């Protein structure tokens, strides 16, 4: 993405359009020669640089709203590069599509298991979480779709080909950036409004 954001000539580029992805695209706009300042330093004033870069790219942007669209647009030749859910690219690759992922500067987020307080099925839920989080279950899941195991003990159970496709493998995660939920909790509403106004211009 840094190549896309720096000195590339105008080409069809694809970026997301939903609100959660708006946040990530604002983050991506800061992946430039001067580093990832918008979230790394938690400075709202760095958003000015992000929107300046977005404005430079705007004539070449093609928005996507559903996860199935990025691989479809890539295969059709409508765009040259895109953000995407890696599972969608994996599915297209399994169908024989010649698509590749670059992991440099990728953004990762965290999900959590949650049990509602007072749930009558607490024991069954805990057993499911233990099973689903086990190394064997995580490894088997990763073999069927390239979503990285959250349990690192699953990684030694996978061969090199599978590991090369996972966002959580050591090689692919070394330059990854964590989605800063604290920053977006504080600044998200204002930035989403600004992004919506910018996109409508």
Q: Write the pLDDT tens digit of every residue in 58-71.
A: 888 888 888 999 99
pLDDT for position 11 = 39
pLDDT for position 25 = 52
Domain residue extents for the chain: 2-106+175-200, 122-169
Q: Distance between CA atoms of 77 and 14, rounded to whole angstroms? A: 11
CATH class entry, domain 2-106+175-200: alpha beta
pLDDT tens-digit readout, 28-37: 554 443 334 4
Q: Are 162 and 140 in contact (CB under 8 A)?
A: no
Number of residues written out for the chain: 201
Low-confidence ranges of the chain (pLDDT < 70): 1-46
pLDDT for position 38 = 43
Share of the chain above pLDDT 70, in %: 77
pLDDT for position 121 = 94
pLDDT for position 5 = 53
pLDDT for position 21 = 52
pLDDT for position 8 = 43
């Amino acid at each position: 993405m840094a190549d896309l954001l720096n000195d590339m000539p105008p080409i069809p580029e694809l970026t997301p359009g939903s609100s959660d992805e708006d946040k990530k695209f604002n983050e991506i706009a800061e992946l430039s020669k001067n580093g990832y300042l918008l979230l790394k330093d938690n400075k709202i004033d760095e958003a000015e640089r992000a929107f300046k870069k977005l404005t430079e790219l705007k004539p070449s942007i093609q928005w996507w709203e559903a996860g199935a669209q990025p691989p479809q647009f890539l295969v059709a030749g409508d765009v040259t590069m895109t953000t995407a859910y890696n599972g969608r690219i994996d599915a297209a690759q399994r169908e024989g599509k010649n698509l590749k992922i670059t992991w440099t500067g990728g953004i990762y987020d965290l999900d959590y298991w949650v049990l509602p307080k007072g749930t009558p099925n607490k024991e069954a839920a805990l057993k499911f979480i233990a099973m689903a989080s086990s190394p064997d279950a995580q490894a088997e899941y990763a073999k069927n779709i390239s979503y990285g195991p959250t349990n690192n003990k699953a990684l030694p159970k996978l061969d090199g080909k599978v590991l090369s496709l996972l966002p959580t493998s050591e090689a692919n995660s070394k330059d990854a950036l964590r989605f800063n939920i604290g920053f977006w909790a504080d600044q998200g509403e204002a930035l989403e409004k600004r992004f919506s106004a910018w996109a409508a211009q």
